[in-house]
Amino acid sequence: MNIETTTCISLKHLELIKVYAEKNNMPVYSFIVNFINFVVTHKEIQVKACSRLSYRPRHSGEWKRLHIILLEHEYEFVMDVRKVYKMSLAKVIAFCIDKYLIDFVNALEKEEDIDNYRCCGYTFSVYLEEGIQCCQFYWGPPPEILKETHATRQM
């Protein structure tokens, strides 16, 4: 099932995304999701607990409404990124472009880094620890699975 969502993006950023998406034979929405996934799995971003979601500055240049169609797991991933990084989707996209666009484009250009299923390892677990409800996000395979795989290969 596909889920539709809407965000805003600056015209300058939209043109950049269109150029790089076309160059890499990806639809714009796929480029955006893969880009966000690249940033959250390769870059550490400081987040502040107990703070409100922050939004892009209003009336800061020319913006365009962008409709994005996501698969269920992509939508869930994007919503969790919003919660964890305390940014609206528009601000997450702008942040990623401003800070990490070149890193992502360079990764796409490396043959071994081309992967159309970057979000397929995304999952989360909910558990109780000493009476506290906890939620752990994995933007890639959980570490236990990686350790088991590595141990199996060693044999």
What's the gap between Cα 50 and its chain centre? 21
What's the gap between Cα 36 and its chain centre? 3
- pLDDT tens digits for 24-43? 999 999 999 999 988 988 88
- Three-state DSSP at 68 gives strand
pTM over 0.85: no
Residue 133, beta-bridge partner list: 128
Contacts of 61 (CB under 8 A, 6+ apart): 10, 11, 12
Residue 23 has pLDDT above 80, yes or no: yes
- pLDDT tens digits for 9-22? 999 999 999 999 99
Instruction: Locate 106 and state its tokens.
Output: 């360079």
Strand residues in the chain grouped as ranges (E): 2-10, 63-71, 122-129, 132-139
